[in-house]
Amino acid sequence: MPQRKLRMGMVGGGRDAFIGAVHRMAAALDGQIDLVAGAFSSNPEKSRASGEDLFLDPSRVYGSYEAMAAAEAALPEDQRIDFVSIVTPNFMHAPVAACFLKAGFHVVCDKPMTLTLEEAKALQTVQAESGKIFALTHNYSGYPMVKEAREIVRRGGLGRILKVVSEYPQGWLSDKIEAEDQKQAAWRTDPQRAGASCCVGDIGTHAEQLGRYITGLKIESLCAEFTSFVDGRLLEDDGNMLVRYKGGAKGVLYASQISAGEENNLSIRIYGTEGSLEWHQEHPNELILKSNSAPAQVLRRGNDYLSEAAKRFTRIPAGHPEAFLEAFANIYSEAVRAIRDAIDGTDAGDYDFPTIEDGVYGMAFIETAVASAASDSKWTSFIQ
């Protein structure tokens, strides 16, 4: 196992990019990673300026991701990057990831994994042939109390799962801010850069993945309705779904970016034959347990009564809030553990981060929802 920090490169995430800064902070949190190289923009001058902002060696700041992959692969083993973090808009995920996998590098990629399901399956083949680690940053599965929820379900604490209700309302796209060239809105509402979906592809995938991570349930079919409430918007800004899971459980999932006053209100409720649980992303350090035979319980992060899974991903004592950046960092810390083992030629086999298989499933979910929303019959079998 290498007794050093892992060397990270980044593609995307230059000046004024929200998610790039989040990834850099999360990667740095545990002192296991150094950012040493990057192609931070498709504009070489902006990439260079972004590298200066980050105090990087100018010779390791590149004008394109292709140049970066080739140059880093040509460096001696003790200098080149160990992995790349991809934080571009959706349409660049697949080509960048494939390029670095083929060049021999491990990959951490933002979600959704690709622009289409076809791209996702092709990338899965590239990753399998490369043998490299691929981590997908569905960061909400990194929260300690989400891991506690999964452990409760796994040990049968809720009984047989009957219903999953997941929701993710935001309000930031209530106006057509993409017309003002607001950067985050401009690419998310553009089918060429975001793909076939805006709202569901952007945040609905988080709601779906959260339910699947906690319960392990896979979708059999779904019935979706998409709406573009803002005039002239090319992709949906609101999505509502009924879900049928394999095994008989039912689900309700909605994602919205025109819900005025909502900030980032991802939440989930899971109902079983013996009890239920509830978690809210805006109050992430608490998990609510309910049953018909006892008062509701509120479990709080950092306490000794929690499972080992929750404790392992907790950094600070009870009463000191942990949240968004720490959850992202938990994905990075697990990816680092897997990459270190891969470098050492070992495999612990118990890594807890979303993989390329989760990425393929997420793209299948988006395409099934898009197909259902466009269909008159509505109930649409899950696309494989």
pLDDT tens digit sequence for 90-132: 999 999 999 999 999 999 999 999 999 999 999 999 999 999 9
DSSP annotation of 82: S
Q: What pLDDT sits at residue 16?
A: 86
1 pLDDT band, cuts 50/70/90, is: low
Rounded to an integer, the average pLDDT of 216-244 is 98
pLDDT above 60: residue 255: yes
pLDDT above 70: residue 2: no
Express each pLDDT in 151-190 by its tens digit.
999 999 999 999 999 999 999 999 999 999 999 999 999 9
Rounded to an integer, the average pLDDT of 58-69 is 98
Which one-letter amino acid corresponds to residue 147? K
Rounded to an integer, the average pLDDT of 136-146 is 97
% of the chain at pLDDT higher than 70? 99
Instruction: Work out the mean pLDDT of the chain and round it to a whole number.
Output: 97
Of 279, 223, 233, nearest in space to 258 by CA: 233
Residue 122 CA to residue 118 CA, distance in Å, equals 6
In CATH, which superfamily holds the domain spanning 144-315+362-380?
Dihydrodipicolinate Reductase; domain 2 (3.30.360.10)
How many C-beta atoms lie closer than 10 Å to residue 91's C-beta?
A: 18
Domain boundaries, the chain: 6-140+330-355, 144-315+362-380
Of 6, 366, 371, nearest in space to 204 by CA: 366
Rounded to an integer, the average pLDDT of 132-152 is 98
Which of the listed CATH numbers 3.30.390.30, 2.60.120.330, 3.40.50.300, 3.40.50.720 matches domain 6-140+330-355?
3.40.50.720
214 pLDDT band, cuts 50/70/90, is: very high
Q: What pLDDT sits at residue 377?
A: 86
359 pLDDT band, cuts 50/70/90, is: very high
Residue 287 CA to residue 157 CA, distance in Å, equals 14
Residue holding tokens 């998310």?
188
Q: What pLDDT sits at residue 253?
A: 98
Could you tell me the CA-to-CA distances from 73 to 40, 84, 149 in Å, in that order?
A: 18, 12, 41
Instruction: List b or e across 283-316, with b for residues whose CB sees 16 or more CB atoms inside 10 angstroms.
Output: ebbebbbeeeeeeeeebebbeeebbeebbebbee
* Cross-strand partners of 272: 161
Which one-letter amino acid corresponds to residue 122? A
- Written as one string, the DSSP assignment of 212-275 is HHHH---EEEEEEEEE--STT-SS-SEEEEEEEETTS-EEEEEEES--TT-SS--EEEEEESS-
Side by side, the strands of the sheet bearing 83-87 are: 33-39, 6-12, 83-87, 106-109, 134-136
Rounded to an integer, the average pLDDT of 75-100 is 97
Q: What pLDDT sits at residue 117?
A: 98
Residue 4 CA to residue 98 CA, distance in Å, equals 27
